[in-house]
Each structure stands twice: as structure tokens, then as C-alpha cells.
């Protein structure tokens, strides 16, 4: 008798979302990306919109997301995911279009792209992973890097006089008339994961109802870039990131 013969539907506690592939992850141990991928896959599966979903990923740690979530994907140049998503959404308005971007992509080289797409109210979901650092390319300072935070390009900590202030891009986006739902979540605890999934679900449902731009920021860890183990990274995030990037709904 095999395990599948023993497990009955009424006894099933959890199963991997069918949209997640069997690819071995390239993400570092403890990285938040994998959890967010699972939530996105669960939402799309539960809504029954796999065949209607088109995702866009740019450059950075998010670039290989197409390996893990089984929907149609389009790659975009660095920071240009909102522009590509705009074209797809306008050409195929019946589709659920979402971008999956990191802070080094969205808040830096892609700042103009995301601001204008949100201001126009393009009918897309934006999943924004904010770990306050360039994770893939060597741990450099990002627009979202905290004051005093050490990175490869700010080894003594971010200095406001030299580097300027951290960019609260989500607060800026919440003020734009084209955005309908703007929220900031995290995935460091089971309760936070549930709240994040609820936010992602709402965002996709709103796109289905043609309500405009839906923006979901996920404050995340970067164990490799921060030079901390997964447990310490979560603790550092709670103590340092959350006070500056407080969780909760900003709009909608």
C-alpha cells in the first residue's frame, strides 16, 4: 500500500500547490521569495485562473520566478516590468496580469516605470519584494536600504548626507489616483503568511473586477546580503525594517 492510498481527502492537512513546479530552488536558505511564490501559486489555483494569468519578471532575484510558478511568463528588462505588464493587460484585458519585482528593480531603475503605471491605474497586480538590498548582484545599497545599514557599497552604513534617505516607494504609490489597493505585508510568521495571502487574493480579485492597480509590498529578508542566518535575519527585520516600513493596508 502506498502513501497516496492511505491519505484521504478528509485527512489532508496540506499539499503543495499544483502550480508550483518541481524545480530545485536557487534561493538562499531562509529567503522570503519561496514563501511568496507559494502564496501566489495558491491564490491562482484557488481562483481557478491559471490559464488566464500572465506574469512578468525583470532582473534580480525575481528573474527566475518562471521556474517555480506554472503560468505564462514574460521576461522584462531591468525595471521595465510595469511597462511590459501594461502592454499585456491592454492587449488582453481578460487576463490576470501581475509583475514580480524586487526593490533594487522596482524602486531604483524602475522607479519611473512603476510610478507612471500606477498613476495611469493599469489593471495589474504588482508583487513588490523589499529586502532593502541588491540581493543577486552582490549586496549593494538599494533605494530602500535603511540609514546606518551596512552593504557592499555602504560598508560603514548608509549615510544620509552621502546617500540620501531610504525611499518609501509604497507610501508614494498609495497617493496616486490610479492605485486601488496598496498594502505592506511580511511572511516571517504563520500569522503574517496568512495575512499576506489574504492581501494577494484581494489584489487578484480586484484585477478581475477591473479596479486598477493593486500593489502588494512584502517586507522580506536577505540572509546572504545581510550576512545573517535565517533566524537572525527575521529578528533584524522585525527590529529594524518594520519600524520604518510598518505593516498594514495603506489604501483600499
In a domain, 154, yes or no: yes
In a domain, 2, yes or no: no
- From CA 187, how far away is CA 224, in angstroms rounded? 18
- Cβ contacts of 108 within 8 Å, gap of 6 or more: 79, 142, 143
In a domain, 147, yes or no: yes
Q: Packing angle between helix 111-120 and helix 81-91, nearest 10 degrees? A: 30
**Whole-number pLDDT of residue 64:** 86
pLDDT under 50: residue ranges of the chain: none
In a domain, 10, yes or no: no
Contact 130, 186 (CB under 8 A): no
In a domain, 12, yes or no: no
Contact 147, 163 (CB under 8 A): no
What nine digits make up the cell of 208? 478581475
Find the angle CA(176)-CA(181)-CA(182) to the nearest 5 degrees. 70
In a domain, 77, yes or no: yes
**Whole-number pLDDT of residue 1:** 56
Placement of cell 506554472 in the chain? 70
In a domain, 16, yes or no: no
In a domain, 200, yes or no: yes
Number of domains composing the chain: 1
Placement of cell 484521504 in the chain? 8
What nine digits make up the cell of 69? 510558478
**Whole-number pLDDT of residue 60:** 84
- From CA 231, how far away is CA 188, in angstroms rounded? 10
Alpha carbons within 13 angstroms on the beta-carbon side of residue 83 total 12
List, in sequence order, every residue forming a beta bridge with 46; answer none if it has no partner.
none
Contact 125, 97 (CB under 8 A): yes
The CATH number that applies at residue 31 is 3.40.50.970
Supply the DSSP string of 185-226, one letter for each residue. EE-SSHHHHHHHHHHHHHHHHHHHTT--EEEEEEE---HHHH
- From CA 186, how far away is CA 97, in angstroms rounded? 22
Its domain, for residue 37, covers 27-251
Amino acid at each position: 500500500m502506498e502513501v497516496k492510498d492511505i491519505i484521504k481527502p478528509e485527512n489532508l492537512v496540506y499539499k503543495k500547490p499544483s502550480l508550483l513546479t518541481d524545480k530545485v530552488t536557487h534561493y538562499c536558505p531562509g529567503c522570503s521569495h519561496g514563501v511568496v511564490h507559494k502564496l501566489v501559486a495558491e491564490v491562482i489555483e484557488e481562483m481557478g485562473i491559471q490559464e488566464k494569468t500572465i506574469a512578468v519578471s525583470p532582473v534580480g532575484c525575481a528573474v527566475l520566478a518562471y521556474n517555480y510558478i506554472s503560468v505564462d511568463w514574460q521576461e522584462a528588462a531591468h525595471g521595465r516590468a510595469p511597462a511590459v505588464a501594461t502592454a499585456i493587460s491592454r492587449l488582453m484585458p481578460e487576463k490576470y496580469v501581475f509583475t514580480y519585482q524586487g526593490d533594487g528593480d522596482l524602486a531604483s531603475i524602475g522607479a519611473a516605470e512603476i510610478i507612471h503605471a500606477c498613476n495611469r491605474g493599469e489593471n495589474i497586480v504588482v508583487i513588490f519584494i523589499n529586502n532593502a538590498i541588491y540581493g543577486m548582484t552582490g549586496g549593494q545599497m538599494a533605494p530602500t536600504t535603511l540609514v546606518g545599514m551596512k552593504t557592499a557599497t555602504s560598508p560603514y552604513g548608509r549615510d544620509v548626507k552621502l546617500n540620501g534617505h531610504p525611499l518609501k516607494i509604497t507610501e508614494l504609490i498609495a497617493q496616486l489616483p490610479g492605485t486601488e489597493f496598496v498594502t505592506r505585508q511580511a511572511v516571517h510568521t504563520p500569522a503574517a503568511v496568512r495575512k499576506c495571502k489574504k492581501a494577494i487574493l484581494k489584489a487578484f480579485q480586484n484585477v478581475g473586477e477591473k479596479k486598477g492597480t493593486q500593489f502588494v509590498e512584502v517586507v522580506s529578508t536577505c540572509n546572504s546580503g545581510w550576512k545573517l542566518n535565517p533566524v537572525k535575519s527575521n529578528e533584524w527585520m522585525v527590529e529594524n525594517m518594520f519600524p520604518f516600513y510598518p505593516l498594514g493596508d495603506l489604501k483600499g
